[in-house]
Amino acid sequence: MNLFKQFVFISVYQIVSVTLGQERPNILWFVVDDMSANFSCYGEKTIKTPNVDKLAEEGLLFTKAYATSPVCSTFRSSLITGMYQNSIGAHHHRSGRGKNRIQLPDGVRPIPEIFQEAGYFTCIGSGLKNFDFRSLPSKAGRKGKTDYNFDWDTKIYDSHDWSKRNGNQPFFMQVQLHGGKIRGAAEKHYEILEKRMMSQFGLKPTPHDFVELPPYYPNDSVLLRDWATYLDTVRITDWHVGQVIERLKKESILENTVIIFFTDHGVSHARGKQFLYDEGTHIPLVIKGPGVPKRQKRQDLVEHIDIGALSLAIAGIQIPQKMEGQNILSPQYKPKEFIFAARDRCGEAADQIRSVRSEKFLYIKNFFPDRPHLMPSNYKDSKLIIKRLRQLHDEDKLHSLSQRLLFSPTRPKEELYLYQDDKWQTKNLVNPRKITGILQNHRDQLDQWISKTNDPGPETLETYILETEDQMSSTGNKVSRENYRRNSEIYKNWFKDGK
């Protein structure tokens, strides 16, 4: 069956299931923390990921799926509404949790609430009865990660597991996995994970010698070990996916379940998570289930906010008119020429970066170019890998590419990359003396998107103070709290100085 006919089948399936009351498909999301597309089906050669690979083999793999935001809470706020995080004012990481409250705009609702109204049982957890979100043995079921930057009703989730539903009631399940976060941020965490690979899974840890780092990271033993343990978290994630699929089989519901696998942004590293390069925004997206094309790859640009819209459509539920995400499986769908992403305040680290991506080019605009790439950040600077990079920088032991991309005291106002040929986006094509038509076109597209989404941009200094004071008060670790406070004073001064 060709691709077009299978898309039509999805559309017909929705209509028939709703009008004749036939069994509607279950919708199951795998949502994985802090992980890039380091799976065999995406070309990763250091490790094997047979379960995600099988999903791709039996379903549809997107080669150009991107997050509209490269940090957890803003990604999840947009995921669960099908909206750009900027459109709903939820674009600052971990915002709206204290004195500064954020309400969703009229006409925007959390997707689980829409599923509930359509008769679906909504659940969020580990997907396994005997393992938790870290893939560790556990008998205590608990609801999974939400992390939304707006006020919401916890009743939009019926349970942590679909086993609580009534009879054959269709379910919408989010399997929330710890992913790359499992590796931790310190040497003791690496040791624990290496031992766990042997004791729990009977697998040898990924050898450090096999690791190939992006070119702007030095081949340093600390960074190599960190990346090796990160790849082990990919293997653990793949194992968990296989266990959930096996459960669906045993319960005889796999054939009527649409599985959507993706991550919430790229690997947590100096140029990954929180930033708009491929290392931070390129994510895996694999879909498998009734009506979904098999053994197919799509190379058109898609955004993670499309996942909610296509999920509703597969279930035969009307997509809200205001939703910005699109049903990318619809036969009427027209591939996007441009997709967008944004980075804003992360913790105390206030920033504003926007990007637009076309088939060949990635354009990035830094609104605070006088600030360094690795700005003061309690979250980032607590990681062993960042501490090591800073140490190597202080000792003048980094090569020129690392120095230029990671430790320059300023950033270019504009960046343009031929990202298909420049895998790690190291060659900025912007020439201030010669404005090309390609550059101007991407500038114009970004300006139009900013206008269309009513992008609020940075917080006021008053709101910044409210948000950071709230986050400091909720931080139990005294050292972290003090680092955060010291950094926030730097940003306040930058605000006042117009930097």
For residues 337 and 372, membership in a common domain is answered with no
DSSP letter at 125 equals E
Residue-number span of the structural domain to which 382 is assigned = 346-456
Cα–Cα distances (Å) from 388 to 61, 219, 220, 347, 397, in that order, read: 36, 12, 9, 21, 11
User: 130 CB contacts (<8 Å, ≥6 apart)?
Assistant: 137, 138, 139
201/159 same-domain check: yes
431: helix, strand or coil = strand
How far lies 92's CA from each of 27, 306, 308, 361, 449, in Å? Answer: 29, 21, 21, 26, 18
Q: What pLDDT sits at residue 396?
A: 97
Examine the domain organization and report whether 74 and 179 are in the same domain.
yes
Domain C-terminal end among 342, 366, 382: 342
Q: Give the DSSP H or E segment for 494.
A: helix 478-497
Same domain? For 324 and 369 the reply is: no
Q: Tell me the pairing of strands 26-32 and 171-177.
A: parallel
Q: What is the pLDDT of residue 22?
A: 53
Question: Element (H or E) spanning 174, and its range?
Answer: strand 171-177
On whether residue 494 sits in a domain, the answer given is no
Residue 324 sits at φ, ψ, to 5 deg, of -85, -25
CATH number at residue 106: 3.40.720.10
Assign 347 to helix, strand or coil.
Answer: coil
Eight-state DSSP code of residue 131: B
Please check whether residues 270 and 336 belong to one and the same domain. yes
CA angle 91, 380, 31 (to 5 degrees): 55
The reply to whether 248 and 286 lie within a common domain is yes
Identify whether 465 is part of a domain. Answer: no
Q: How far apart are CA 442 and CA 32, in angstroms?
A: 31
Predicted confidence at residue 4, as pLDDT, reads 33
How confident is the prediction along the chain (499 residues), in pLDDT tens digits per residue? 333 333 433 443 343 344 334 589 999 999 999 999 999 999 999 999 999 999 999 999 999 999 999 999 999 999 999 999 999 999 999 999 999 999 999 999 999 999 999 999 999 999 999 999 999 999 889 999 999 999 999 999 999 999 999 999 999 999 999 999 999 999 999 999 999 999 999 999 999 999 999 999 999 999 999 999 999 999 999 999 999 999 999 999 999 999 999 999 999 999 999 999 999 999 999 999 998 999 999 999 999 999 999 999 999 999 999 999 999 999 999 999 999 999 999 999 999 999 999 999 999 999 999 999 999 999 999 999 999 999 999 999 999 999 999 999 999 999 999 999 999 999 999 998 888 899 999 999 999 999 999 999 999 999 999 999 999 888 888 999 999 999 999 999 999 999 9
The answer to whether the beta carbons of residues 145 and 133 sit under 8 Å apart is yes
Distance CA 131, CA 152 (A): 27
- Angle, helices 221-250/384-394, rounded to nearest 10 degrees: 160
What single DSSP character describes residue 31?
A: E
Smallest CA-to-CA distance from 345 within 323, 324, 371 is with: 371
The verdict on residue 499 lying in a domain is no
Name the residue among 286, 290, 319 with its Cα closest to residue 24. 290
Residue 206 lies in a domain: yes
Say whether both 335 and 351 belong to one domain: no
Is 476 inside any structural domain?
no
Q: How many domains does the chain have?
A: 2
Indicate if 92 and 107 belong to the same structural domain. Answer: yes
Last residue of a domain, one of 315, 342, 369: 342
The single residue listed with the structure tokens 């082990």 is 232
Kindly state whether residue 461 falls inside one of the protein's structural domains.
Answer: no
Is residue 495 one of the residues assigned to a domain? no
Same domain, 401 and 261: no
Contacts of 131 (CB under 8 A, 6+ apart): 137, 138, 240, 243
Cα–Cα distance measured from residue 421 to residue 428, given in angstroms and rounded to the nearest whole number: 12
CA–CA separation, 72 and 263 (whole Å): 10
Q: Please check whether residues 327 and 395 belong to one and the same domain.
A: no
Q: What value does the CA radius of gyration of the chain take, rounded to a whole number of Å?
A: 22
Residue 224 lies in a domain: yes
- Confirm if 245 and 58 have CB atoms less than 8 A apart: no
Same structural domain for residues 23 and 149?
yes
How far apart are the two ends of the chain, measured CA to CA in Å?
57
Shared domain for 228 and 196, answered yes or no, is yes
